[in-house]
Amino acid sequence: MEKFAQNLSQQEEEVLALSSIYGDLFTKEQDSESSYLCRVPLQTEEDWYREVKVRIHFPPTYPSDEPPLLELVRGNPRFMDHLTSKEFYVDDDTLKELLEGLSQLWENCEVVFTWIEWIKEFLEERLREKVELWKQELQELPEEKEQAVVDYDQIDEDEEVADGKPSTGADKPVNCPEIFSGEPLVDRKSVFVAHVATVRSVEEVKAVMQTLLQDKKVARATHNMSAYRIVQEGDIMLQDNDDDGETAAGRRLLHLMQILDVKNVFVVVSRWYGGIPLHADRFKDINNCARDLLEQCGYIEEESSDKKASKSKKKGKK
């Protein structure tokens, strides 16, 4: 009992020290007296920010006899695209090497700070390796074309659209699915808005697009990039995309939908060009607002918990 009491005292002192060092990045897990979550920021010289999350559980035998239990939240492999995620996905080989390294640092004493800093250093090196690959991919993206500036906020809602028809519910095509639109994402005066609808046929895709274009703002958008995926009989996937003048945007939007494995959904992202070229960031903005709305509307299924994390329970050296 005396040893356990000493362990508890040392754990409390370690928690206070970790809270002082990491601030809001280090928090106590709800409904647990001895588990904590630490968000570990990863940074490279090129400002490619990512982060990983580490859960730490203190058993009563720590630090006298056993190390703490560490659970690394590995991130979601479906969100590996460097343009759309702040997570850092840890693959199986990297995780194995990381856990082996942690086990070598355990020497029957307080070790959490050492572990966290070692994880940070180890994964930042892996991030730098990925950044080099991402930079090569960015060089292959098409350049942004010069285009007219469209002030999203100044578009007159009462203005007639190109076909002269007012935007009313009466104009909604027959059997048009319900359409959900997201909040505007503003980046250097350009505005991006995503729209999604559940569709089960190409006719419904056309109906959704026709309905959206009856909206004055959508009709005046610089580009309305779109993509859809429809499951047909026999599990055949019908899918297509449209750049609407923004080279590669539709293809990248469809690629995002494939990664997320969303089905029977039509996604449109409207962009109003604000006069400042965004270069590769425009693809990040397009995919970010599309993914956010897909998630809000329940199209993205969460990974099961056993795929999200792996635990380290190695005792290591004595």
**Across the chain, what does the average pLDDT equal?**
78
101-115, 132-146, 267-281, 299-313: least confidently modelled range: 299-313
Whether the predicted pLDDT of 300 surpasses 80: yes
Domains of the chain: 1-139 (3.10.110.10), 179-297 (3.30.230.30)
Q: How far is it, in rounded angstroms, from Cα 215 to Cα 209? A: 10
Phi, psi for residue 23 in degrees, rounded to 5? 60, -130
Mean pLDDT of the region 293-303: 81
Cβ atoms of residues 139 and 74 within 8 Å:
no
Q: Report residue 156's pLDDT band, with 50, 70 and 90 as the boundaries.
A: low
Give the 3-state secondary structure of residue 189: coil
Cβ atoms of residues 44 and 82 within 8 Å:
no
Q: How far is it, in rounded angstroms, from Cα 193 to Cα 144? A: 19
Q: How far is it, in rounded angstroms, from Cα 29 to Cα 128? A: 31
Helix (H) or strand (E) holding 236: strand 236-242
Q: 144-171 as b/e, with b when 16 or more CB fall inside 10 Å?
A: beeeeebebeebeeeeebeeeeebeeee
Mean pLDDT of the region 273-293: 84
Mean pLDDT of the region 271-296: 85
C-alpha of 22 from chain center: 23
Q: Report residue 146's pLDDT band, with 50, 70 and 90 as the boundaries.
A: low
- Give the model's pLDDT for residue 192: 92
Percentage with pLDDT > 90 across the chain: 25
Q: pLDDT by residue (tens digit) across 85-108?
A: 566 777 778 888 888 888 888 888
- Give the model's pLDDT for residue 259: 82
Q: Is 267 exposed, middle or buried (0-12, 13-18, 19+ CB in 10 A)?
A: buried
Measured over the CA atoms of residue 99, residue 105, residue 110 and residue 115, the dihedral's sign is negative
- Give the model's pLDDT for residue 77: 54
Stated pTM of the model: 0.54
